[in-house]
Chains A and B, each alone.
Chain A
Amino acid sequence: MFEFFFKYPLSVFSRGTFVLLGGWPRWVLWAGLIAVGVVLAYLVHRRAAGSVRVNAVRQAAVWMLQTLLIATLLLMLWHPALSIATLRTQQNIVAVLVDDSASMAHPDEAAGATRRASAVQVLNSGLLKSLQDKFQVRLYRLTDHLERFDKLEQLTSSGRATHIGDGLKQVVADAASLPIGAVVLMSDGADNSGGVDLETIAEIRRQRIPIHTIGFGQEKPSRDVEISDAQLPARALPDSRLGAIVSFHQHGYAGQKATITLREKQKVLAQQQVTLKGDGVEQSETVLFNAGAAGVRTVETTIEPLPGEENAKNNMVTRLVNVDQRKPRILYLEGEPRWEFKFLRRAVEDDQNIDLVTMLRTTQNKIYRQGIADPHELEDGFPAKVEQLFAFDGLIIGSVDAPYLTPTQQTLIHDFVDRRGGGVLFLGGKDALSDGGWKQSTDVDLLPVTLPDRKDTFFRVGATVELTAAGRDSLITRLEDDPAKNVERWKKLPYVMNFQDPGQPKPGAVVLVDALPTTGGRVPLLITQNFGRGRTAVFGTGGSWRWQMLQPVADKSHEMFYQQLLRWLVSDTPRKVTTSTPKQVISDDAHVSLRAQVRDRTYLQASDAKTEAHILGPDGLADTVEMRPDALEAGLYTADWTTPQAGSYLVEVVSTRGAEELGRDTITFRREDGVAENFHTEQNRELLEKLASETGGKYYKPEDAQKLGKDINYSEAGITVRETRDLWDMPIVFLLLLVLRSGEWLLRRKWGVI
């Protein structure tokens, strides 16, 4: 339709430059337009003078129509045209990139064939011939790399991934030596490399190569459930309760029930039934499971396939959890023998994976130590040296007044959190928090609350407890797997025997539990926050022991609460060498990045260490990679490595400084092939459209793809010639003249002034 009225396709107008080919100066046109306007205004006004039928508004309408008519005729006299760059016939190359990844083997319901077959059909239906008539056509097969091919029969949809960005980069590189005039990308847009980076787009724009995209596949599946992600902690302590945050979306099953299952080697770790939300709505559910014994957990997260699902392969993702062998040590300093001390120790005693060392001031001059590694440990009291305190992973400070610790010890505690990355839990008590003078301590920064200025904040008054919104989601306070039952269980917990007003939570702190004193009011009871590399918490009571004494023997609320709280306190406490990788499971990708944070004995960043990664892989594969210090971040060492094949890999990073070994750490990762293409199988039209619009190209549906044969001529890349296209003979011009003239006539007739 557009082309009928305007003579040329829209792309000519969008790419072309408007020019006036007439020989007369342009100012004469402007002067003529003004003169015509003035003269017509005078004439219309004079002729209408005294007429009651032609008021000022009608005069203006007549003047405008007549002026536009003459202005259009004047403009045509100046010979308007479009100047546009056009690819020279047979002197340019058009690169046709055909997605040949596994996702192109999925059915294209609109075409009744596979996406690959649709693409071949489009090319064979004249597009390829029309391109070959005008250009040299290079066919490329696009998967996780780009390679040329000659015959369409060579397409197999066997590529294990689609890396559109990498493919385009290669085309751009070729354009430096070849006259590539345009790129045609035929794909479903299901890119597995995270999209096309801005750098590549910028380079394409600089070279002015238009990328025309033809999209295949449904933009929305009819009946499918797909897992978008499953977030599991990379590391955990043995027997920890962990949460797998499973994100997914669905089409065609809104309101139906589905079952999420966590498995390891066919053994079901956890199952949870969920109700599916609306079509396309991203949904997240947390499934709790036990980390089990030390070792590597390969956890398969599955949404059990529903009847009639089009693609069941996107219902499962695999994640790894490294369950550490280590047994974190927590030092508990208590200022007075009290029930909370006894029952906290008993609660943690059942936890075989936490080593609780306690120091209790029994009398004015005596300290009773329990859980010590040897008779000399802590014999001089609370640690006063970095190495002594930093040997622990966590710290609990009970009813201890701050002045009991020297300024050096208080600074050590600060560094323990900030630099060491340890966790500190402050309990409530008669000598704790504000009442213990911690407001004046150098450790006041650590606290997740702004302590009150007074010293009467500890009350021996019963208080019920209630989970906050954050507490309902937290694993620390999860006593029941079912969130609703968990809330109810907390409501039924007995009173805590006492509570302490901790003050206002600081910005960034999270209140998990509130206390509701029997005397009225509400105060935060359990508050957590991250600080520096570590984390801190306040549990403002010394009376949670009542949860143990006032409930049946079989009830484990108190034990579970403290075990989960203490595991949170120390599970992320880093070692001297901490290794990580952005993805522990890499799907259809050979590259892996390794990072190691290296600290010395006092947990200062060690940038002068020698750090090596020893890698063990499948089939006895072994390699050693030297990790290089990062230029921007002290103590960080990185390395990139290419996995030769799919399988599980174990990496042990060892860091040394001279003869001294600073530390070592192990991590596992896994490469899976043939997985990525099962996900995001719907057409990513947004990516294809954006790619086209950013580069001056156009997005086509397969049924419109034949138009590409004409549009592709206009490009500023490659070898071009600038052509002019006349505009004066566009049908729209004659139509406009006719409308203006007849419009005036009709108006005059209506007003009776003809």
Chain B
Amino acid sequence: MRLRSALSLLTIAVAGWGVLRAQRPFRDYPGVEYENFPLPPDWQQTAEWTRARLRYPSFLAPHGIRDGYRRWTIDYPRSDRHLLQGIRRLTRIDTRSVEQVVDLDGEDDVYNWPMMYAVEVGYWNLPDEQAAQLRDFLLRGGFFMCDDFHGTIEWDNFVASMKRVFPDREIVDLDNKDPIFHVIYDLDDRFQVPGLQYVYSGSLFEYDGFQAEWRGIYDDKGRLMVVICHNMDLGDAWEHSDNPVYPEKFAALAYRIAVNYVTYDLTH
């Protein structure tokens, strides 16, 4: 009887390990701006898709101490949850109501979440091994979107890490004809989307980031695998899309861009 019980426990343990190995479960983290943000009622419901948020070591915590300075949590999780609701409402993507935080920690879990987003990458500082894993993630078919960094200094800092990911791939400006701007919405007429600071300062830009820059990195078959939203703050636009003081036109464009980018990822 003991042997049978032990075998049963072992089977359950192996099955549980298998599920965990297949995909890590959702976990909520304290953010810079939000702590104990309420979970949606259906947060446990499994779904086909959700967006992964990259927990990266930032410039201000150069030694890679996790959460030493939680730049990666900017806008988190309110921005994520709003966006996921939008994706669910505007498309036929079976979307989970909560995001998934992922690490480039050398483990396999990150590969279970092929759509990755990082915020404030002007402050990120990827060590070589993390850069290598991000490269691997992208070459296997993953997709990386970054946003909310402004001006020359932050750009240079972003590029420094991105060059560790792809030393020999160019970052290019996206042509208006690229399918990513037409997969669902025709986004020929894009404009700069400012953060919440616009409400108080009236300025569309931050630092010397006067013009929104839509850039990306293509793979060998002409598919975008990295999309870079420089000199704009789509994260704030999603985050404050329910904020009456934040202009609707910025939030609307931010959603459309996200819908197109996500759909592009799922079709290319």
User: Is B263 touching A546 in the complex (CB atoms < 8 A)?
Assistant: no
A595 sits at the interface (CB 8 A): no
Question: CA of A461 to CA of B23 in the docked complex: distance in angstroms?
Answer: 10
User: Is B140 touching A338 in the complex (CB atoms < 8 A)?
Assistant: no
A337: nearest chain-B partner, CB-CB: B266
Question: CA of A363 to CA of B263 in the docked complex: distance in angstroms?
Answer: 10
- From residue A396, how far is it (CB to closest CB) to chain B in Å? 15
Given A495-B22, A519-B15, A553-B139 contact (CB < 8 Å): yes
Given A339-B49, A349-B221, A549-B141, A361-B92 contact (CB < 8 Å): yes
Which positions 1-49 of chain B face chain A at CB distance < 8 Å? 11, 15, 18-19, 21-23, 46-49
A497: nearest chain-B partner, CB-CB: B22
User: Is B22 touching A462 in the complex (CB atoms < 8 A)?
Assistant: yes
User: Is A518 touching B15 in the complex (CB atoms < 8 A)?
Assistant: yes
Question: CA of A337 to CA of B141 in the docked complex: distance in angstroms?
Answer: 15
A460 sits at the interface (CB 8 A): yes
Given A339-B266, A460-B46, A518-B15, A363-B139 contact (CB < 8 Å): no
Question: CA of A630 to CA of B161 in the docked complex: distance in angstroms?
Answer: 73
Which positions 49-77 of chain B face chain A at CB distance < 8 Å? 49
Question: CA of A362 to CA of B48 in the docked complex: distance in angstroms?
Answer: 14
Which positions 386-444 of chain A face chain B at CB distance < 8 Å? 430
Given A337-B91, A342-B266, A518-B15, A362-B183 contact (CB < 8 Å): yes
Among listed A286-294, A295-303, A364-372, interface-contacting one? A364-372
A707 sits at the interface (CB 8 A): no
A: interface residue count bin: 35 or more
Question: CA of A337 to CA of B21 in the docked complex: distance in angstroms?
Answer: 25
A134 sits at the interface (CB 8 A): no
User: Is B142 touching A341 in the complex (CB atoms < 8 A)?
Assistant: no
Q: Is the interface of A mostly helix, strand, loop or mixed?
A: loop
Given A363-B92, A520-B15, A338-B48 contact (CB < 8 Å): yes
Contact with B along A344-363 (1 / 0, CB 8 A): 01100100000000101111
Which positions 253-306 of chain A face chain B at CB distance < 8 Å? none
A335: nearest chain-B partner, CB-CB: B92
- Across the interface, A550 reaches (CB within 8 A) one of B90, B111, B265, B266, namely B111
Residues from chain A with Cβ under 8 Å of B169 in the complex: none
B174 sits at the interface (CB 8 A): no
Q: Which of B21, B47, B140, B263 has the most CB of A within 10 A?
A: B140
B184 sits at the interface (CB 8 A): yes
Given A368-B263, A462-B22, A336-B92 contact (CB < 8 Å): yes
B268 sits at the interface (CB 8 A): yes
User: Is A360 touching B15 in the complex (CB atoms < 8 A)?
Assistant: no
Given A346-B141, A518-B22, A549-B142, A337-B92 contact (CB < 8 Å): yes
User: Is A549 touching B114 in the complex (CB atoms < 8 A)?
Assistant: yes
B136 sits at the interface (CB 8 A): yes
B108 sits at the interface (CB 8 A): yes
Contact with B along A437-480 (1 / 0, CB 8 A): 00000000000000000000000111010000000000000000
Residues from chain A with Cβ under 8 Å of B267 in the complex: 337, 341-342, 345, 358, 360, 362, 368, 370
- From residue B9, how far is it (CB to closest CB) to chain A in Å? 14
Given A366-B184, A461-B19, A549-B141, A336-B94 contact (CB < 8 Å): yes
B112 sits at the interface (CB 8 A): yes
User: Is A462 touching B19 in the complex (CB atoms < 8 A)?
Assistant: yes
User: Is B18 touching A430 in the complex (CB atoms < 8 A)?
Assistant: no
Given A341-B267, A497-B22, A549-B112, A430-B92 contact (CB < 8 Å): no
- From residue A485, how far is it (CB to closest CB) to chain B in Å? 23
Residues from chain A with Cβ under 8 Å of B48 in the complex: 336, 338-339, 430, 460, 542
A318 sits at the interface (CB 8 A): no
- Across the interface, B93 reaches (CB within 8 A) one of A337, A460, A495, A546, namely A337
User: Is A338 touching B49 in the complex (CB atoms < 8 A)?
Assistant: yes
User: Is B19 touching A363 in the complex (CB atoms < 8 A)?
Assistant: no
- From residue A369, how far is it (CB to closest CB) to chain B in Å? 10
Residues from chain A with Cβ under 8 Å of B142 in the complex: 549
- From residue A335, how far is it (CB to closest CB) to chain B in Å? 7
- Across the interface, B140 reaches (CB within 8 A) one of A337, A360, A519, A548, namely A548
- Across the interface, A341 reaches (CB within 8 A) one of B15, B18, B22, B266, namely B266
A366: nearest chain-B partner, CB-CB: B184
Question: CA of A518 to CA of B15 in the docked complex: distance in angstroms?
Answer: 5
B91: nearest chain-A partner, CB-CB: A363
Contact with B along A548-563 (1 / 0, CB 8 A): 1111110000000000
Residues from chain B with Cβ under 8 Å of A545 in the complex: 114, 141
Which positions 179-226 of chain B face chain A at CB distance < 8 Å? 183-184, 221
- From residue A733, how far is it (CB to closest CB) to chain B in Å? 84
Contact with B along A523-547 (1 / 0, CB 8 A): 0000000000000000000100110
Q: Which of B23, B92, B114 has the most CB of A within 10 A?
A: B92
A343 sits at the interface (CB 8 A): yes
User: Is A337 touching B263 in the complex (CB atoms < 8 A)?
Assistant: yes
Residues from chain B with Cβ under 8 Å of A360 in the complex: 267
Question: CA of A366 to CA of B90 in the docked complex: distance in angstroms?
Answer: 11
User: Is A336 touching B183 in the complex (CB atoms < 8 A)?
Assistant: no
User: Is B184 touching A338 in the complex (CB atoms < 8 A)?
Assistant: no
Question: CA of A427 to CA of B40 in the docked complex: distance in angstroms?
Answer: 31
- Across the interface, A336 reaches (CB within 8 A) one of B23, B93, B136, namely B93
- From residue A337, how far is it (CB to closest CB) to chain B in Å? 4
User: Is B141 touching A338 in the complex (CB atoms < 8 A)?
Assistant: no
B268: nearest chain-A partner, CB-CB: A342
Given A337-B266, A342-B268, A542-B48, A364-B92 contact (CB < 8 Å): yes
A520: nearest chain-B partner, CB-CB: B15
Which positions 111-165 of chain B face chain A at CB distance < 8 Å? 111-112, 114, 136, 139-142
- From residue A527, how far is it (CB to closest CB) to chain B in Å? 23
User: Is A549 touching B111 in the complex (CB atoms < 8 A)?
Assistant: yes
Residues from chain B with Cβ under 8 Å of A370 in the complex: 267
A338: nearest chain-B partner, CB-CB: B48
- From residue B6, how far is it (CB to closest CB) to chain A in Å? 17
Question: CA of A341 to CA of B15 in the docked complex: distance in angstroms?
Answer: 28
Question: CA of A461 to CA of B20 in the docked complex: distance in angstroms?
Answer: 11
Residues from chain B with Cβ under 8 Å of A519 in the complex: 15
Residues from chain B with Cβ under 8 Å of A546 in the complex: 22, 111-112
Given A337-B91, A341-B266, A518-B15, A368-B183 contact (CB < 8 Å): yes
Residues from chain B with Cβ under 8 Å of A336 in the complex: 48, 92-94
Question: CA of A550 to CA of B141 in the docked complex: distance in angstroms?
Answer: 10
Q: Which of B46, B90, B112 has the most CB of A within 10 A?
A: B112
A553: nearest chain-B partner, CB-CB: B139
Question: CA of A265 to CA of B231 in the docked complex: distance in angstroms?
Answer: 63
B266: nearest chain-A partner, CB-CB: A337
User: Is A363 touching B184 in the complex (CB atoms < 8 A)?
Assistant: yes
Question: CA of A550 to CA of B91 in the docked complex: distance in angstroms?
Answer: 27
Residues from chain A with Cβ under 8 Å of B23 in the complex: 462, 497
- From residue B176, how far is it (CB to closest CB) to chain A in Å? 18
User: Is B141 touching A342 in the complex (CB atoms < 8 A)?
Assistant: yes
Question: CA of A597 to CA of B94 in the docked complex: distance in angstroms?
Answer: 46
Residues from chain B with Cβ under 8 Å of A349 in the complex: 221
Q: Which of B15, B21, B94, B221 has the most CB of A within 10 A?
A: B94
Residues from chain A with Cβ under 8 Å of B262 in the complex: 337
Residues from chain A with Cβ under 8 Å of B112 in the complex: 497, 546, 549-550
A340: nearest chain-B partner, CB-CB: B48
Residues from chain B with Cβ under 8 Å of A364 in the complex: 92
Which positions 210-263 of chain B face chain A at CB distance < 8 Å? 221, 262-263
Can you report 11 A-B residue pairs in the complex whose CB atoms are below 8 A from each other?
A336-B93, A337-B91, A337-B262, A342-B114, A346-B141, A358-B267, A368-B183, A370-B267, A495-B21, A518-B22, A520-B11
State the A residues within 8 Å of B (CB): 335-339, 341-343, 345-346, 349, 358, 360-364, 366, 368, 370, 430, 460-462, 464, 495, 497, 518-520, 542, 545-546, 548-553
Across the A-B interface, the 10 shortest Cβ-Cβ residue pairs: A462-B22, A337-B266, A518-B18, A460-B46, A549-B111, A336-B92, A553-B139, A495-B22, A518-B15, A337-B93
- Since A339-B114, A366-B184, A464-B18 are in contact, a sample of 7 more A-B pairs with Cβ atoms closer than 8 Å, ordered by chain A residue number, is A337-B267, A342-B266, A363-B184, A462-B18, A462-B21, A495-B21, A519-B15
